[in-house]
Amino acid sequence: MRTQVAIIGAGPAGLLLSQLLQRDGVDCVVLERAQQAHVEGRIRAGVLEQTTVELVGRAGADRRLRAQGLTHEGFNLSCDGEVFRIDMAALTGGARVTVYGQTELTVDLIAACQRRGTPLLFGVQGVALHDIDSAAPFVTFERHAEPGRQAAPSRIDCDFIAGCDGSHGVSRASIPAARRTVFERNYPFGWLGILADVPPCGPELTYCNHERGFALSSMRSLTRSRYYLQCALDEPLQDWPDERIWDELALRLGPTAAALMTRGPSIEKRIAPLRSFVSEPMRHGRLFLAGDAAHIVPPTGAKGLNLAAADVGLLSEALTDWYRRGTAQALDAYSGRALARVWKAERFSWWLTSLTHRFPDMDPFARRMQVAELQYIRASRAAQTVLAENYVGLPLA
């Protein structure tokens, strides 16, 4: 098989890249180790920056997003039950975010691939990248075999490889260790997340700093709510029955939110670690990394999916320049441009996490600093503007 760009990974980054490229006449193939049903069922992020929404529109996959997405002009911060609102639209000249689940976005992008006839190969095994530092890279893999039959080895020859296969994928690992530098911070707590088919307790997200730990009230739709609680990484999930989670949420979110909270059985519940991670550079030869393959941010501030979309926006433009104009300038600049934005998002996610969470070694002085900074943000339009500009998303570099 021959294509121009081989895309490894059929998450939102790989799928979005495939449609942006195909829209511009660049051929591509997408390889994914999981089956389609598993990919479409993964529950992840749900807050989209305007840049992400615009890119999905360019990819021709925004019909349901425009119809069903919830547009938010602000969000709330809370400190021990005292809530104040950040008016993003007023502070940023009208910028907004859209709440739309990653699960739904993935379904939309797969449908767009199918409409365009983009080759999507699910369930492939043993993916390996070859000759990535040459002008003729290729990918080998084994296709899913029927029961009782041997898997068939396959090969894709290509001009470029886009590694969109996440933190544990093969793409980043294919870059020699001596040619990449890793920056990492692991946080000493996790997020206990619960998803329930109940109305949200408010029209916008609320990030809460409470003496018992962080909490977040969010939503995926007007009838599906997403809540998070800071907890220890080694907490046994079985120690958190639904009723205990709802009780703790009511306590940390405060009496106003608690009075509006609708309780119900969880349909998904898990504890996720928090991590800041960057691998530099985001290019090696003809291999380009995008999304979680190159960087991870804490979920505070909802930057993960949006960073991946921004990477893809830059990479699709650079690849299109190569094929339309024969120039490598944008490809050569991709890693530096993407990382400049990545590090700003890493800074914001780290700062908001530090502002809203209780750390194990936090002494009374550090706690007073948190409270003082929250009070300063509440009283300062300039501080709120900085927060809002970062939350709605910085422009592409």
Residues with active-site annotation:
72, 207, 299, 303, 391
CA distance 74 to 388: 8
Tell me the residue type at 121: L
CA distance 171 to 190: 27
**SS3 label, residue 195:** strand
Quote helix, strand, coil % in the chain, to nearest 5.
Answer: 40, 25, 30
Tokens matching residue 161 = 């490889």
Tokens matching residue 292 = 């979680």
Neighbours of 38 (CB within 10 A): 12
**SS3 label, residue 80:** coil
CA distance 34 to 10: 9
**SS3 label, residue 106:** helix
Q: Each residue of 268-277: b (16+ CB within 10 Å) or e?
A: ebebeebebb
Residue whose C-alpha is closest to residue 234's, from 271, 184, 269: 271
Q: Which helix (H) or strand (E) holds 84?
A: strand 82-87
DSSP codes of every residue in 327-348: --HHHHHHHHHHHHHHHHHHHH
